[in-house]
Amino acid sequence: AGAAFESKRWGARRFASVIDHLQSRWLLESIIIAGPGQERLAGEVAGFSDSNPCVLSGVSLAELKAVVGNFGRVFVSNDSGPMHIAAALECPVVAVFGSSNPDVWHPWTSAPYRVLGGERGTPDSNVRGSIDTIQADEVIAAVDEVLELAATHAAS
């Protein structure tokens, strides 16, 4: 749920809805990875969820790589560094973009991915832009699509 700029952060309640969907539809446990200074935000997401997600904070890049590489079925994230790490590890990705241009900053991967939102602008502007208009059901639909594509890809 964290990102370097406020204009790139999607809502905690919306992330919690996605976590609950992953549990109810796909029987997937979720891990919320909190970067430095994002522990409060990760706790908010966990608090809004009914699925009791695990919150990891203070993880190194090596630990992030290990968690995503060993446990990642899908990585749902704002446009962020960890999203790009997940993509590099060929983990399916659903990325929620705010003030960044997804034509430039989309995940570079051969794994299935979907990008929602995005606009041209500066990440440090106070304009929230399109990230607030992205609804949880849109991200949930993208998650379902990416997981179905990943299952088809793995079966072939």
| Cβ(83)–Cβ(75) below 8 Å | yes
13 lies in which domain range?
Answer: 6-155
pLDDT of residue 129: 54
Q: What is the CATH number of the domain that holds 142?
A: 3.40.50.2000
pLDDT of residue 68: 96
- Distances in Å between the Cα of 68 and the Cα atoms of 8, 9, 47, 63, 121 are 21, 20, 22, 9, 30
Q: How far apart are CA 127 and CA 133, in angstroms?
A: 13
Instruction: pLDDT band for 147, please (50, 70, 90 cuts).
Output: very high
pLDDT of residue 98: 85
pLDDT of residue 102: 86
* Model confidence pLDDT, tens digit, residues 71-86: 999 999 998 999 999 9
Q: Would residue 149 count as lying in a domain?
A: yes
Mean pLDDT of 128-148: 90
Q: How many residues does the chain have?
A: 156
SS (H, E, C) the chain: CCCCCHHHCCCHHHHHHHHHHHHHHHCCCCEEEECCCCHHHHHHHHHHCCCCCEEEECCCHHHHHHHHHHHCCCEEEECCHHHHHHHHCCCCEEEEECCCCHHHHCCCCCCCEEEEECCCCCCCCCCCHHHHHCCHHHHHHHHHHHHHHHHHHHHC
Per the structure, the count of domains in the chain is: 1
Q: Would residue 117 count as lying in a domain?
A: yes
| Cβ(92)–Cβ(110) below 8 Å | no
Q: Would residue 72 count as lying in a domain?
A: yes
Q: Is the pLDDT of residue 38 over 90?
A: no
* Model confidence pLDDT, tens digit, residues 78-132: 989 999 999 999 999 999 998 788 888 999 999 999 999 866 444 554 444 578 8
pTM above 0.85, yes or no: yes
Q: How far apart are CA 93 and CA 112, in angstroms?
A: 7
Find the range with the poorest average confidence among 3-7, 32-36, 71-75.
Answer: 3-7
Q: Would residue 93 count as lying in a domain?
A: yes
pLDDT of residue 37: 86
Q: Would residue 1 count as lying in a domain?
A: no
Q: Would residue 57 count as lying in a domain?
A: yes
Looking up tokens 């034509």 gives 103
Q: Would residue 24 count as lying in a domain?
A: yes
